[in-house]
A = this chain, B = another copy of it.
Amino acid sequence: MRDFLPAEKAQRERVLAVIRSTFSGRGFDEIETPVMEDSDRLHAGLGGDNEKLAFGVLKRGLTVEAIREASEALDLADLGLRFDLTVPLARFYASHRAELPTVFRAIQIAPVWRAERPQKGRYRQFVQCDIDIIGEAGPMAEIELITATAATLDALGLEGCSIRVNDRRLLTSALELLGFPPKEHEPVLITIDKLDKIGQDGVITELRDRGFPAGPVDALEAFFRRPTTMEFLPFGEAAIRKFLPEGVDEAAVAELAGIGEAVNRVVGRDIVTFDPWLVRGMGYYTGAIFEVAHPSLGYSLGGGGRYDGMIGRFLGTDVPAAGFSLGFERLVELVELGSDAGQDAVALVYDADVDPVRLLALQSLLVAEGKRVRIERRPKNIKALLEALEASGFSSYAPVAADGGVGEWKALGAATA
């Protein structure tokens, strides 16, 4: 968990403003949920491994007797900090469905918490930027989500990003064709998800070590080693089929191809690529899944997919849903946005015995002209002050005498040069 100093905080707010306005411009509506959810809800099996990382919040008024009676730590918590924005959204939608549009496009920009071991680039509090479309069963939801995400990456000036897509149904279909029985699909996918890190040989070795049946594992190995042409295929049905065993779910191939082709044409470049072994960790995905890759990063900038069954867990009736989540902490480190070009920042450096009324009236006047105005008492060492002001983005300063008289304005770069 980190503190953000003024320059970092300003940069974060600038990036957030771009993300917020891009999503909002495309018709999404921002909502907010409390940071704490009921502990039961956070441990209902929808959060995968993240559930284990949830911070628990102690019940209030716990007596020593109540503590003694606890059989595990979870008995002591009735609330917890959310570990993602999807579980809270599902709960929100179930609570407020009657007040929301039939097809609800949600923006959530908010911190989440995970009790991860501290390591570089991983934080225990971090901001996610999620968009979700609830109530749209067709591929228009995926097309809208990926297009809005691509528009946001463009608005942030992040060049070279690609969006890798796959479909849970294609994974299932491929595993079936290779001979894996349905109950083994989820455990096999846990290993396949490591393909980027351990390679094809590593996956085969791990699957053998974990004791999966030899036949399907051999079939997967043979599939990995099959001869393929180096011919480039643009994103589409043919490209998808090329990377999968023969006979995969044709409807899923056609739908995924339709989604990616539409996005590529709207965006005007081949931003969507097919990744046959993209898994996405969460078990709740039911259809298309996607992930943002950036050439400078070994990990994704965000991801999402279709999760048609999840809302039903809270609501009782199934509602189709899909979402895309951007990892803000990674984004903000890549993005280079200039400081607020619109607002000139100036300083009034006043004598200790200045008339406060004249000084502040002058400040108000300059603020009314649209300037950002810092007032600073003249220190013994004015050079250090002027350097600090310049470093903070102030453009100029003027001295203010005891009687409120304003001296000559000086540019800050020039004054300290």
A residues near B (Cβ < 8 Å) are 1-6, 9-10, 12-13, 20, 24-27, 29-36, 55-60, 62, 64, 67-68, 70-73, 76-77, 79, 81, 92, 95-96, 99-103, 105, 111, 113, 115, 125, 136, 139-140, 143-144, 147, 151, 258, 262, 265-266, 343, 345, 347, 356-357, 360-361, 363-364, 367, 371-377, 379, 385, 388, 392
Chain B residues closer than 8 Å to A71, beta-carbon distance: 64
Additional 8 contacts, C-beta under 8 A, given A3-B31, A3-B33, A25-B373: A3-B95, A4-B32, A5-B99, A26-B363, A27-B347, A36-B55, A56-B58, A102-B388
Q: List chain B residues, Cβ under 8 A from A2.
A: 34
Nearest residue in B to A72 (C-beta to C-beta)? Answer: B64
- In the complex, 22 of the A-B residue pairs with CB atoms within 8 angstroms, ordered by the A residue number, are A3-B31, A3-B34, A5-B99, A5-B100, A6-B29, A9-B31, A12-B32, A26-B363, A27-B372, A27-B373, A35-B35, A55-B57, A55-B60, A57-B58, A58-B58, A58-B73, A62-B76, A67-B70, A102-B388, A105-B374, A136-B377, A266-B361
User: Given contacts A357-B266, A360-B266, is CB(A102)–CB(B379) below 8 Å?
Assistant: yes
CA distance A36 to B56 in the complex (A): 12
This protein's copies in its complex: 2
Contacts of A343 in B (CB 8 A): 25
Complex partner residue of A36 from B125, B373, B379, CB under 8 angstroms: B125
CB distance from A126 to the nearest CB of B (A): 10
Q: Which residues of B contact A136 (CB under 8 A)?
A: 377
A25 to B113, CA, bound (A): 32
Knowing A3-B96, A73-B62, A374-B27 are in contact, say whether A102-B34 is a contact too (CB < 8 A).
no
Contact residues in B for A151 (Cβ distance below 8 Å): 364, 367
Check A60 against B115 for contact (C-beta < 8 Å).
yes
